[in-house]
Structure 1
């Protein structure tokens, strides 16, 4: 359970232009469309937080939501045996790691393994199965909703 005595802000990293990297924006869109979800959400399919605009978004979120709990969501590559694994981290995520090392962001991070890290990272992300990534994004969104108590509203929304 997230400490909701503080404001919760969810920042979903990635780009819908690359199948494997679309997990974050899809999670953001799912959460944003749930009118009962009690948090600010940044990074959606129509307004993604990508490697190109990430610094501006991170500055905006930190300035606008001082003292908030920052939950970061991102796709990652991992061992083939871990494909589909969703991990919750207590130290945020390292967004845009494929394009170069970036610093960590978030108080809590959720990462989901969308491809095998043994090959070329960009190729793996581009060749990821979009349907599988979408299903994984729904699982991540459900996990987040459950953690913040959003599932109590889910039965009323069909």
Structure 2
């Protein structure tokens, strides 16, 4: 019951964000779309690794190339970037800030999803220079809840 309620709220929030994005006029630089596609591929690779597989194995099994994957992800990447830009604008306009507790919660959730230790997840994010990216993601989630 609690899970169904959470899913209903998530769906409602996604619909609100989608409406805000559709009403926004946003030019998206191609480089942002390409970056998001690469991020999506990295996330897929991490998910595969969490299951003991490699991205190359997935590509072979699905009979795809990395370019096929990039092509498949392009439209959703553009939509994701558009949503991020709208949520970034809302976060800025509303003065939404990310606290250390917000970051720790997000790291904990990520660690649970990947079956990893939170410290290990934090170390990887810091080593890869993705702390600012994570903070932006947390700010966008807070902005989405604000809507």
Provide the TM-score with structure 1 as the length reference.
0.24
Looking at CA atoms only, which structure, 1 or 2, has the larger radius of gyration? Answer: 2
Point out the structure with the larger strand share. Answer: 1
More helix by share: 2
